[in-house]
């Protein structure tokens, strides 16, 4: 670990989640839409969550924060940084302060002190990486002018795609809040040893404001936030940025790439759907083999033989520097930046090493994630929360052990950040209660799902909110002396 000797370690002391109860089983969805369930199960997952009629990104964020405060007995007056990571904002001016206002109101109703008035309230936006950038911002705050205080970063998003699109089965909604401080109880975050990468990719995955023009909100509070995306191109962007961020980490830490990857037992990567982190990590492993010793290249050559790929041609491809942004045009015949590596990946996936070096290292929390869908900024911390909870049940992590994380945001940027488990990680993990957050469910039928998705009133939703924030109403006035058009008003239901 590369923390400076004259500073206290900083990291995460707690995690708490909020997931809306409305669930769509992907096997049912396949029946409704004539999709192939075996393929969806293998590539995507089992189910996803849908926001309710009174949910927004801000209510979900506030629900996660109030749970974090409760579960870890946080003194709100010590919180001097409250960051919101999201790509689902519906207000282009305010952000984290909305969450702070809701939480303060609930705390006051309980007779408790509010979050510190001197608290900073930034919002971080860069696709799915906003929450990781928020965490880095919080750690830097705690290392400098916020030393001795606490910070909360909440990642909250609503992943929606048009019905009938290839992204529809990868939807999801939820929020995860993180408690950060000096001498952390759960895991130390090593920013000095982290790796970064970024490059503009034009139309990988975008949300231009033009999409909102003309939307009818007469029936519900919801704004439909369907992205403009290009799936195969997005996969190439994810892989390429992962490789560059890892290279930056290897150089900073002076690591032998393949030796380090083999030494790790647990990984958490940004997870838009089941197959993506497997693919990203497997390609990274193949590239590390190409940089290794003779025996490592021999292993790579074996996969090349099975795939019918010349190993020297593959090594040349691995050393190339493709301009992925140049693929962003409708005439592009292939979006593969590393076509030979992807062919070899298929052979590697069939080998006995694939489970040991890839699947086993992505194991913790992965089964739980099959029932969440894509949470955008919250996808990575949700997987971490589920994984740490499973590790507690199995006692499968050790104090001081490195857990490597990868955050990714379309558009295009990645962060590879080492975590080191704290001495007291078991006590902190026992308070996460991620399984409890997943427990409350209401399974939707086709008519209910389509109505919720399309922003229409939904019949027979048998759910009564409890211990959570909801949207009470949305302002309609645009008078000269008073205007609140489009502003959400919230209520905490005890």
Distance CA 180, CA 193 (A): 18
C-alpha 368/C-alpha 405 separation (Å) is: 18
Residues in the chain: 494
pLDDT value of position 221: 65
Q: What is the pTM of this model?
A: 0.94
Please give the DSSP secondary-structure letter assigned to residue 71.
H
Q: What's the confidence (pLDDT) of residue 1?
A: 59
Q: Which residues pair with 473 in a beta bridge?
A: 489
Exposure b/e, 424-440, CB count within 10 A at least 16 = b: ebbebbebbbbeebbee
Task: In whole angstroms, give the CA distance from residue 422 to residue 490.
Answer: 37
Average pLDDT, consecutive stretches of 10 residues, N- to C-terminus, the chain (494 residues): 70 98 98 97 97 94 98 98 96 96 96 96 97 98 97 97 94 98 98 96 82 71 80 90 97 98 98 95 98 97 98 97 86 86 97 97 98 97 98 98 97 95 98 97 96 87 90 92 93 94
pLDDT score recorded for residue 425: 98
Residue 331's pLDDT is: 78
C-beta of residue 131 within 8 angstroms of C-beta of residue 85: yes
Edge-first strand listing for the sheet containing 22-25:
47-50, 22-25, 442-443
How many helices and strands in the chain, by DSSP H and E? Answer: 17, 17
- Sketch the domain layout of the chain as residue ranges: 10-198+220-229+423-493
Query: Domain 10-198+220-229+423-493 carries which CATH code?
Result: 3.40.47.10
What's residue 228's pLDDT? 81
Residue linked to tokens 């909020």: 18
pLDDT of residue 210: 75
pLDDT for the residue 5: 53
- pLDDT score recorded for residue 306: 97
Which residues contact residue 103 at a Cβ distance below 8 angstroms, ignoring those fewer than 6 apart?
62, 65, 66, 69, 76, 114, 115
> What pLDDT does residue 458 have?
87
């Amino acid at each position: 670990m590369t923390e400076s000797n004259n500073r206290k370690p900083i990291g995460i002391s707690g995690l708490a989640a909020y997931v809306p109860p409305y669930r769509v089983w992907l096997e049912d969805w396949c029946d409704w839409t004539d999709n192939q369930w075996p393929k969806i199960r293998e590539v995507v997952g089992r189910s996803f969550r849908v926001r309710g009629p009174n949910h927004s990104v801000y209510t979900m964020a506030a629900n996660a924060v109030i749970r974090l405060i409760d579960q870890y007995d946080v003194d709100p007056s010590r919180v001097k940084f409250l960051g919101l990571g999201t790509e689902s904002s519906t207000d282009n001016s305010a952000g984290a302060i909305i969450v702070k206002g809701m939480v303060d109101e609930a705390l006051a109703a309980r007779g408790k002190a509010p979050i510190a008035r001197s608290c900073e309230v930034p919002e971080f936006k860069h696709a799915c990486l906003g929450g990781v950038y928020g965490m880095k911002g919080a750690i830097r705050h705690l290392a400098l002018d916020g030393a001795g205080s606490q910070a909360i970063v909440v990642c909250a998003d609503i992943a929606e795609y048009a019905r009938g699109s290839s992204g529809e089965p990868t939807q999801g909604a939820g929020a995860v809040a993180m408690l950060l401080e000096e001498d952390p109880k759960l895991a130390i975050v090593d920013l000095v040893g982290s790796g970064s990468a970024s490059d503009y990719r034009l139309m990988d995955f975008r949300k231009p404001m033009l999409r909102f023009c003309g939307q009818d909100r007469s029936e519900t509070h919801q704004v439909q936030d369907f992205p403009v995306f290009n799936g195969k191109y997005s996969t190439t962007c994810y892989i390429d940025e992962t490789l560059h961020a890892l290279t930056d980490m290897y150089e900073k830490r002076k690591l032998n790439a393949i030796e380090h990857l083999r030494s790790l037992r647990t990984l958490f990567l940004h997870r838009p759907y089941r197959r993506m982190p497997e693919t990203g990590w497997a390609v990274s492993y193949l590239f590390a083999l190409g940089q290794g010793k003779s025996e490592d290249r021999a292993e790579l050559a074996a996969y090349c033989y099975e795939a019918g790929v010349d190993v020297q041609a593959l090594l040349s491809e691995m050393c190339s520097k493709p301009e992925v942004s140049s693929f962003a045009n409708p005439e592009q015949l292939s979006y593969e930046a590393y076509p030979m590596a992807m062919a070899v990946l298929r052979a590697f996936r069939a080998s006995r090493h694939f489970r040991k070096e890839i699947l086993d290292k992505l194991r913790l929390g992965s089964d739980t994630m099959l029932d969440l869908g894509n949470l955008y900024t919250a996808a990575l911390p949700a997987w971490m929360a589920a994984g740490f909870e499973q590790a507690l049940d199995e006692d499968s992590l050790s104090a001081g052990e490195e857990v490597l994380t990868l955050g990714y945001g379309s558009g295009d940027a990645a962060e590879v950040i080492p975590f080191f488990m704290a001495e007291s990680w078991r006590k902190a993990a026992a308070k996460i209660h991620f399984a409890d957050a997943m427990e409350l469910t209401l399974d939707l039928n086709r008519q209910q799902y389509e109505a919720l998705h399309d922003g229409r009133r939904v019949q027979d939703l048998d759910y009564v909110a409890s211990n959570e924030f909801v949207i009470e109403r949305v302002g309609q006035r645009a008078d000269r002396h008073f205007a609140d058009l489009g502003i959400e008003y919230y209520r905490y239901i005890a």
